[in-house]
Structure 1
């Protein structure tokens, strides 16, 4: 039997090579696509964290309390080590070493300056290790001194900006400060200086609770000066241990864990009892929370697409293995008829496919890793094992099929789709597939958004696609039969012959229906969700801006409004009067009154969502605050205004969501004066021209808001993966069609030669090739495309794109024109492949028919 297996490999080298090539390509994609997506997740996590991210442990202490907790630089560093030891795993991996400092509050410098000046005194050992002196010397304060000048050093840039030099003195409260040296950073590009700009140069700050600008800077002091500061029991010192985020150490998984660990770290810091109270401050909370929500959606949506792609690849491999089995069937049947056992058939039946598939899968995995698209994923190995197991299962089924007979059984059995009656086993299998698909959908919708990256998500579209494919295969013969009576009456024979040949295909030959259906479902799903995402972001940009641009105009007069309307491209500028802190009756809770011409606004901005009809609109909170839908609103500078709420609203551009505000016609607040205004600008807006026409005003341009949304971390990952998934699914679908065409090309060429002998022309043979493949293409792509369009609705809460659209719900949409053109292009390519194969295997009747053939 070993020799028989070798002869089989030599005889069937072409389909075995095709099976190996398909396995290799599928293995590479199983590794590269998930790794590339995971790498995109990691890059998105780094972008979400931001360049200025850090974790700070901060506390304030005075006098002996401060000195007893931090008497020296060693104590400052050891406390940093202690804070780092409290960091949980993911936070510890993502953060660098502690950067400690002790700094006074900013205090005014005495003197007459064009702009007030405040100075911070900072004991920052890390900064002193990153500078070099360019003039003078480092400060040296006598240990234990409590009087006299305190020596400090400042940066040369700060001194040049404010006119200081070595030897100058400054008076700050009870201290006289003398500059002993000027320094500059050893490496100005060092990330260490990012949050410490005051040390390197003067920065503009505002006095507390005022709009007064001041020049602020930080002077560096030594440890004896710090000790001197602690002798003043009323002087507060701000201690900070900053842990910078190492962006190269942040991954998507770590970012998700970091968000959960921050609360635990806060509790650990607050629970430390051997020093003064400290707390954790960071900007990571909101950033990581938003990233986690977007990552959850991306993994859910892309999991659906990945599951479909694996199923398409498995379908193509099953098809290749099945067609190979059809070619082996006569040989195995002959061996069985000669007395070979099933065990003896296993070597020639399972050996060659195993030798083709297993090495190809291993090589494909290695090549996929060498491509280095991202971190390796366990899902790649699982998918690869599924593909290999599917092929080996088909090989085993080919051998098992010969258990009941030999060559005679193989020759007499007919399993044409158009005539064969499905067995009870196939009916039971179809029923199980439908039941599993329904159960999967029910469980998925019941679990809702919590399903996340659960394997159930990836399984549901596959179950639906396979169940729908089984139903299509069951209906497919009836569709062919329905058309035959009509085609018999037609003059030409091409359509009738093509449909008849399509009906003569067996179940293996009809497997492209399932493969193409899954490929079309993946393409339809990705196109639908991608269009929904883009449409939702446009909708959200209108909701946030309220127009093509919104200007926070302050107290705007008519002249200012005319200047805005005169900006080139502006077609209309609608003023909105915003009256804050109005009250209703005896309730002192503040209500914001927004006055504008609602009718004109609805006409000018029809794309702004969730603006109901009615003259007066109010949020539910405002209605509760007013004590009902009718109330009198008033405040100083505004005449009492009685309003009757016609409809409730949750959002309005320029107002906080669900805050207490009432939108009224502008005529109701026309007499109110001294209140800030907003201006909604319409037309082809140029942000630069608008800012020039409204200097000093905050201008929000809708296109800028939309651009920021489309550049959110993970958005590009989702778009790119959708595009790649649609292309890969389409390529596998075309491969399935091409494989079936090539495998059956020689037998078809012989049949066509007979038909050519009785008058079929070359042109008619090409048309016959199209008619033969048309039922499979049309049934599969139509059913799959419809399933793809319905998948977002079927999966329900799993495809929730609100984290990408500013909280606005997004409904499924019909794919845009490029997606529809792509579908048509794929169908045309499949038709072109049928014609090309027909032409490549075309043969003259004289070279095919033998003497005596009829």
Structure 2
């Protein structure tokens, strides 16, 4: 079928629209799943750095008749424990099922005995008591230790009867216990455990951050603890699995078997797909139940042991953080998909609006030909069907090219079939020209004088009804989304809201725009130039200007909104990194970790330190009112300001001149002056609060309130978690804590080179270990490391790419529509310019006509599109919650004004440049080429 030359521009635009929509739709889900799976793999790996995400624990002991009395008994069954370990882990793996088993690696097993007193052998007796030693078999010990003396424990010769258990100690533990290499000593655990042991090796950790040292810190350094007999030192020693078997034969106490499962998500898989992610959450959450059934069968009762081979095991106890990690990721993934749906809906709406606008322009250009067909009795339906068949090759070619363009993005998988929104957009773009042609042929237009052919018809009832319906629909969808709040994420109406609001903005602009245009035209009429008057007159009666304005508003609002989201995410990552690190670096741990401040300040590269201590207390007012879960923070303002000079909290504490110690009270508890948030003071107007009763009780006296910026100070972030607490916040300047203070502490570090300054992690770890702090794990964070972790977030990256591609595609489509309007209206404008040139107007002045004609439309589109893009976050409300992508205080919408101005002005400049270029080519036509004899303007 031959396409008339006059409709070739429309066919070319239709091909580009269908190809763009097809490419986006085909690559939409596969590209997201690949990026999301990579992000899930990064999240799992990051969480796994703090310890195993899935751990199964069971108590194992020989079956009846297999063990003997302490200190003697039958010959140990050497080499059989590994068989039972393999049987136990095999059953655990079967309980994991296919979905969880796909991400679980081979477990790392450890076997721990009950601590026993070290007697004889010349062992030291710290604090006057025999130290305790726990024997531990660790499968990962060979990779985690380096022997500096002796050798690793090994299997004894022969059957092992009467042989001592071979053990290895760390350098610190050997010094603490006072044992020499080759020394034999006695392990006495009471009547149920007695055996001899011999020290055969001394080791040093290879990697300080390995799981072995995090989960068993006693292996590296002995720790004292308070008992009813006094202060007791406890350490741990490594043994071979044969040593566990020797101990088992001489004890009646159970052994604790721990299986740590490494979790690895294949970045090339589809684990982040919505269905598979839900399956992973369910499988990891039910792993304990499934593991018990796999190990013990369906007839297990409570904690009764289950038979393995030579041993029995209690029903496994599972500790897992994988489900929480997957749930947190799913929350972010839902937010990501909701935001991406805005981009896709906007792009599809721009494509459909562009197709309709182009179809109206093409049909309007053929008014004369259509009038002739109508006079000859042509059927509107048959003519529309002919147009449908005529545009089919452009649609098919667009589908083919779009699918080929998406193939490299989705490789190695084939492009996904487009969803119904993309199919609907393609169908609407395809039928746009046939429908526009049918509407032109459906009813004969009233004849009008030739001089009035450019005058627009008055908008009657149908147009007003359509405008009112569009406004009411937008208001209804907006109200529905705002009422549902964050629950509207899965609502299909949500991505349509920006499109409907753009329609409302276009309607308002169409109603408002004529007034300033008429005002400018009146001023131009009073002047001497004719170009401005003619251009403004033509701008006020453009037939397809409404749809072109809608396309421009949609495209520009989409680009501005995408830039706002991307810039907000970038600022949110900055805030989150500062919130999680508090300063250039931070050392987190138990309350006593604050004692490492002086040693840390002396390290190379550290310019200063400040300790922050936080504990959760129930505060009791004078009237008995309880403020549960209040956060009490202690910080030295001078040290804090030395580390973070811009700290709002430090400035408030220094200005309040709070004492650094408590005041003794003869009858009541010691008093401590504090600053509190205004809400707490409103609930307790007298400002007096008690932390409870007992020797550690305090009376807090509120002497001032904390402003909002002090409550959100990043120096509190590492201890307050990923988000500011909802509970009351109380801050004191206390610098001396009780010896057994509860809670956690953070030592903020100011580095010499700023956030990127060097820091020796091994020296920091040794300084923390020297405090002897026990309890919560010790963690070192740096601002640069936290920012790098956030920057590598795959979901944030896919959002950036999505809005960049959708914004660029929308603006390109809008520019093509304007180009098409210029091309299809070129002859009409050339005729007007020729009229003006025959009346004596210069060529340069006449050349400005197309640019001036488009300026009112461009100004309205730039103003409306930019305003809508900036106001969309306020319209969406709680649905646009970006805290899931970084944590910390909720980042408010952050506008990149440079980008916003560049988008608005860039669109105006590009369109004006295209109009000027079209005029330049049009100047080659002579007036005689476009004017007909006797034609009047």
Normalised-by-shorter TM-score class: 0.7 to 0.9
Please report how far the alpha carbon of residue 320 of structure 1 lies from its aligned counterpart in structure 2 after TM superposition: 3.0
CA contact 1:84–1:98 (8 Å) conserved in 2: no
1:237 to 2:252 alignment? no
- Taking the aligned partners of 2:737 and 2:135, their CA distance within structure 1 comes to 45
Q: 1:662 aligns with which of 711, 730, 733?
A: 730
> Where does residue 355 of structure 1 map in the other structure?
393
- Taking the aligned partners of 2:468 and 2:338, their CA distance within structure 1 comes to 28
CA contact 2:579–2:888 (8 Å) conserved in 1: no
> Where does residue 3 of structure 1 map in the other structure?
none
CA contact 2:553–2:864 (8 Å) conserved in 1: yes
Please report how far the alpha carbon of residue 499 of structure 1 lies from its aligned counterpart in structure 2 after TM superposition: 0.9
Q: Measured at CA, do residues 562 and 399 of structure 1 come closer, stay the same or move farther in structure 2, by a change above 3 Å?
A: closer
Q: 1:781 aligns with which of 851, 862, 870?
A: 862
1:28 to 2:23 alignment? yes
Structure 2 stretches of 5 or more lacking a match?
68-78, 144-150, 170-180, 188-193, 301-305, 307-312, 659-673, 769-778
Q: Measured at CA, do residues 62 and 119 of structure 1 come closer, stay the same or move farther in structure 2, by a change above 3 Å?
A: same
| Bigger Cα displacement from structure 2, 290-299 vs 396-405 | 396-405
1:303 to 2:341 alignment? yes
1:848 to 2:929 alignment? yes
CA contact 1:103–1:121 (8 Å) conserved in 2: yes
1:429 to 2:466 alignment? yes
1:737-794, Cα deviation, whole Å (9 max, x unpaired): 2222222223322332232222333322332222111111111121111111111111
Alignment of 1:97-496 (within 5 A): 102=111, 104=113, 122=137, 139=155, 147-148=162-163, 173=187, 204=220, 207=223, 218-221=238-241, 226=245, 229=248, 232-240=251-259, 242=261, 244-248=263-267, 249=269, 250-253=271-274, 254-269=276-291, 273=300, 274=306, 276-372=314-410, 380-405=418-443, 419-496=456-533
Q: Measured at CA, do residues 720 and 346 of structure 1 come closer, stay the same or move farther in structure 2, by a change above 3 Å?
A: closer
Q: Measured at CA, do residues 169 and 50 of structure 1 come closer, stay the same or move farther in structure 2, by a change above 3 Å?
A: same
Q: 1:43 aligns with which of 11, 34, 38?
A: 38
- Taking the aligned partners of 1:334 and 1:209, their CA distance within structure 2 comes to 102
1:449-507, Cα deviation, whole Å (9 max, x unpaired): 12224322211111111232233334444443333222211222222111112123113
CA contact 1:584–1:626 (8 Å) conserved in 2: no
- Taking the aligned partners of 1:216 and 1:689, their CA distance within structure 2 comes to 34
CA contact 2:569–2:796 (8 Å) conserved in 1: no
- Taking the aligned partners of 2:639 and 2:142, their CA distance within structure 1 comes to 60
1:85-106, Cα deviation, whole Å (9 max, x unpaired): 4336642443356666655568
Name the SS for the 2:481 alignment partner.
helix
Name the SS for the 1:94 alignment partner.
coil
CA contact 1:37–1:721 (8 Å) conserved in 2: no
Q: 1:529 aligns with which of 553, 565, 568?
A: 565
- Taking the aligned partners of 1:479 and 1:98, their CA distance within structure 2 comes to 74
| Bigger Cα displacement from structure 2, 227-236 vs 115-124 | 115-124
Q: Measured at CA, do residues 216 and 179 of structure 1 come closer, stay the same or move farther in structure 2, by a change above 3 Å?
A: closer
Q: Measured at CA, do residues 488 and 373 of structure 1 come closer, stay the same or move farther in structure 2, by a change above 3 Å?
A: farther
- Taking the aligned partners of 1:150 and 1:178, their CA distance within structure 2 comes to 6
CA contact 2:549–2:861 (8 Å) conserved in 1: yes
- Taking the aligned partners of 1:9 and 1:39, their CA distance within structure 2 comes to 44
Please report how far the alpha carbon of residue 118 of structure 1 lies from its aligned counterpart in structure 2 after TM superposition: 7.3
> Where does residue 664 of structure 2 map in the other structure?
none
Please report how far the alpha carbon of residue 844 of structure 1 lies from its aligned counterpart in structure 2 after TM superposition: 4.0
CA contact 1:77–1:100 (8 Å) conserved in 2: no
> Where does residue 18 of structure 1 map in the other structure?
13
Please report how far the alpha carbon of residue 385 of structure 1 lies from its aligned counterpart in structure 2 after TM superposition: 0.7
Name the SS for the 1:87 alignment partner.
helix
| Bigger Cα displacement from structure 2, 528-537 vs 728-737 | 528-537
> Where does residue 914 of structure 2 map in the other structure?
833
- Taking the aligned partners of 1:34 and 1:607, their CA distance within structure 2 comes to 45
TM-score of the superposition, structure 2-length normalised? Answer: 0.72
> Where does residue 887 of structure 2 map in the other structure?
806
Name the SS for the 1:759 alignment partner.
coil
Please report how far the alpha carbon of residue 534 of structure 1 lies from its aligned counterpart in structure 2 after TM superposition: 3.5
- Taking the aligned partners of 2:929 and 2:248, their CA distance within structure 1 comes to 105
Q: 1:733 aligns with which of 814, 821, 835?
A: 814
What is the root-mean-square deviation in Å for CA atoms of aligned residues?
5.6
Q: Measured at CA, do residues 663 and 323 of structure 1 come closer, stay the same or move farther in structure 2, by a change above 3 Å?
A: same
Q: Measured at CA, do residues 700 and 371 of structure 1 come closer, stay the same or move farther in structure 2, by a change above 3 Å?
A: closer
> Where does residue 57 of structure 1 map in the other structure?
56
1:769 to 2:847 alignment? no
Please report how far the alpha carbon of residue 556 of structure 1 lies from its aligned counterpart in structure 2 after TM superposition: 9.2
1:507-539, Cα deviation, whole Å (9 max, x unpaired): 3x4422001101111122122233333344444
Q: 1:793 aligns with which of 874, 891, 907?
A: 874
Please report how far the alpha carbon of residue 107 of structure 1 lies from its aligned counterpart in structure 2 after TM superposition: 7.8
Q: Measured at CA, do residues 86 and 59 of structure 1 come closer, stay the same or move farther in structure 2, by a change above 3 Å?
A: same
> Where does residue 688 of structure 2 map in the other structure?
630
Q: Measured at CA, do residues 711 and 236 of structure 1 come closer, stay the same or move farther in structure 2, by a change above 3 Å?
A: same
Structure 1 stretches of 5 or more lacking a match?
1-5, 129-134, 156-166, 182-187
- Taking the aligned partners of 1:538 and 1:598, their CA distance within structure 2 comes to 25
Q: 1:594 aligns with which of 595, 609, 634?
A: 634
- Taking the aligned partners of 1:685 and 1:17, their CA distance within structure 2 comes to 56
Q: Measured at CA, do residues 712 and 26 of structure 1 come closer, stay the same or move farther in structure 2, by a change above 3 Å?
A: closer
> Where does residue 512 of structure 1 map in the other structure?
548
CA contact 1:34–1:377 (8 Å) conserved in 2: no
Q: Measured at CA, do residues 322 and 432 of structure 1 come closer, stay the same or move farther in structure 2, by a change above 3 Å?
A: same
CA contact 2:640–2:647 (8 Å) conserved in 1: no
| Bigger Cα displacement from structure 2, 364-373 vs 681-690 | 681-690
Q: Measured at CA, do residues 90 and 474 of structure 1 come closer, stay the same or move farther in structure 2, by a change above 3 Å?
A: farther
- Taking the aligned partners of 2:106 and 2:704, their CA distance within structure 1 comes to 59
TM-score of the superposition, structure 1-length normalised? Answer: 0.78
CA contact 2:53–2:262 (8 Å) conserved in 1: yes
CA contact 2:755–2:784 (8 Å) conserved in 1: no
Q: Measured at CA, do residues 725 and 228 of structure 1 come closer, stay the same or move farther in structure 2, by a change above 3 Å?
A: same
1:617 to 2:675 alignment? yes
Q: Measured at CA, do residues 750 and 65 of structure 1 come closer, stay the same or move farther in structure 2, by a change above 3 Å?
A: farther
